[in-house]
Amino acid sequence: MAGLCCNRAMSTNPPSPAKRHYLQADTLIRSTGARLTRPRVEVLAALLAAEQALSHHELEERIDRSVDIDRVTIYRVLDWLTAQGLAHRIAGDDRVRRFNAAGHAHEGAHAHFQCERCGTVLCLDEFSADPVVRLPRGFRPQHYELTVKGLCAGCGPSRRADTRTPAHRH
Amino acid sequence: MAGLCCNRAMSTNPPSPAKRHYLQADTLIRSTGARLTRPRVEVLAALLAAEQALSHHELEERIDRSVDIDRVTIYRVLDWLTAQGLAHRIAGDDRVRRFNAAGHAHEGAHAHFQCERCGTVLCLDEFSADPVVRLPRGFRPQHYELTVKGLCAGCGPSRRADTRTPAHRH
DNA sequence: GCCTAATTGCAACTGAATTGCATTAATGGC
DNA sequence: GCCATTAATGCAATTCAGTTGCAATTAGGC
């Protein structure tokens, strides 16, 4: 598995369909010039593989199977990835931070969707916000973040209360 | 002081310039049909008087002088005010919730400014977001929240590092 | 003035995130 | 390939915002 940090640990893993994300993570981490470590690769690969923004808990769940990485390390790796611009942090309404791989060219404007029922956070396409709001004198905008709140496809009004359990929470 | 809950406690206070906000709070709380209590009036008056969104801490600071109200009560009053539509909750990037009196006609779209240096949160005028983003099939938008991040007038690049202490935090 | 349900106060608790420090291991130089 | 060095990790304890359970208080109707 192309230069994965600890060559012994990974050599026994069968080639998984998620392999691509590991390789991608590997390359991205190398490109920063910092050390290539197991936790970094695992966390970034998980983010790359995810179709939605992941909380710390969700990350723990998706990683633990093979290795087990300390909670704190995951926090630190996430901070590091964010600082490197490889991940992107979203402050949820529920005081939980969620992350996704910063694939999209998030220049200075992001948009997210957060489901009010199940909490899922999704990264939407960019939008242009600059002209829309007017700031007081002397205020300098740097980033724009649009959060759309509502119900996701799975939690929509068509299938109510019983057909779906509040997922991705707790 | 026009029908303030406990008539004995307030009668000794000199007519303050902030009196207007107390009267306003009084009226707003009455209008809900629920009980008019000291903590509710104090908290709402503080929010009405504030020029920015206030955190729980900031509220405690601004109230404690005369009466002292339990932390938990403030949390509960804030929840109640929010539920009544009298206050509006903003989830900050720093995992701290801030509140402001829901004066503006916040229909389904708000905009806030958060200073990345001092943390101050300001309520901006409305904006129209509906057309800007496209959601996946089956997703139903309910509220739109635009957060502009950057530097406030006091923290702007003209006066750097030393001339200003990071205010409104801790 | 009295009653009763709505509020409040207190104490203990939760859950996300952070900090300090000793240990481990990725990488560059040999 | 082996070693040193220093960045990264693991562990334990801590912080901090917010919540919960329950007994004591009190606003508002009679």
3-state secondary structure B20-74: HHHHHHHHHHHCCCCCCCHHHHHHHHHHHHCCCEEEHHHHHHHHCCCCCCCHHHH
Least confident of A76-90, B13-27, B60-74: B13-27
pLDDT of residue B126: 67
Window 45-74 of A, Cβ < 8 Å to B: none
Q: What is the mean pLDDT of residues B58-77?
A: 91
pLDDT tens, residue by residue, B73-100: 999 999 999 999 999 999 988 999 999 9
- Chain B contact set for A75 (CB, 8 A): none
Contact yes or no for B145 and A141 at CB 8 A = no
**pLDDT above 70: percentage of residues in chain B:** 75
> Residue A33: which nucleotide is closest by CA–C1'?
C27
For residue A147, being part of any structural domain is answered with: yes
B76 touches strand C (CB under 7 A): yes
For residue B3, being part of any structural domain is answered with: no
Q: What is the mean pLDDT of residues A29-36?
A: 96
Least confident of A117-131, B5-19, B140-154: B5-19
pLDDT of residue A107: 66
Least confident of A19-28, B26-35, B85-94, B105-114: B105-114
For residue B56, being part of any structural domain is answered with: yes
For residue B10, being part of any structural domain is answered with: no
Within 7 A of a protein CB, which nucleotides of strand D?
Answer: 7-13, 17-21, 26-28
Nearest CB to A133; choose among B134, B148, B157: B148
Residue B25 CA neighbour count, 13 Å, CB half:
28
Query: Which residue from B minimizes the CA distance to A137?
Result: B153
* Between A21 and A155, residue with greater pLDDT: A21
Contact yes or no for A146 and B140 at CB 8 A = no
Q: Using a 7 Å CB cutoff, list residues 87-106 of B near strand C.
A: 95
For residue A161, being part of any structural domain is answered with: no
Residue nearest to nucleotide C24 (CA to C1'): A37
pLDDT of residue A102: 86
- DSSP assignment of chain A equals -TT-SSHHHHHTS---TTHHHHHHHHHHHHTTTS---HHHHHHHHHHHH-SS-EEHHHHHHHHTTTS---HHHHHHHHHHHHHHTSEEEEE-TTS-EEEEE--S---SEEEEEEETTT--EEEEPP---TTT--PPTT-EEEEEEEEEEEE-GGGSTTS-TTTS---S--
**pLDDT above 70: percentage of residues in chain A:** 74
Q: How confident is the model at residue A28 (pLDDT cuts 50, 70, 90)?
A: very high
Contact yes or no for A135 and B142 at CB 8 A = no
pLDDT of residue A109: 80
- Chain B contact set for A132 (CB, 8 A): 111, 127-129, 132, 146
For residue B143, being part of any structural domain is answered with: yes
Q: Which residue has the tokens 């029922």?
A: A117
A89 touches strand C (CB under 7 A): no
For residue A130, being part of any structural domain is answered with: yes
For residue A168, being part of any structural domain is answered with: no
Is residue B14 classed as helix, strand or coil in its secondary structure? coil
**Tokens standing for residue B129:** 């977001």
pLDDT tens, residue by residue, B98-130: 999 986 555 677 889 999 888 889 988 766 665
pLDDT of residue A106: 59
Q: How confident is the model at residue A154 (pLDDT cuts 50, 70, 90)?
A: confident
pLDDT of residue A166: 44
Closest CA to B67 of B2, B3, B8: B8
Q: Which domain holds residue B43?
A: 16-155
Residue A77: which CATH number?
A: 1.10.10.10
A144 touches strand C (CB under 7 A): no
Asked if B150 has any chain A CB less than 8 Å from its own CB, the reply is: yes
Statement: residue B10 has pLDDT above 80: no
Statement: residue B135 has pLDDT above 50: yes
Domains identified in chain B, total number: 1
Average pLDDT, chain B: 81
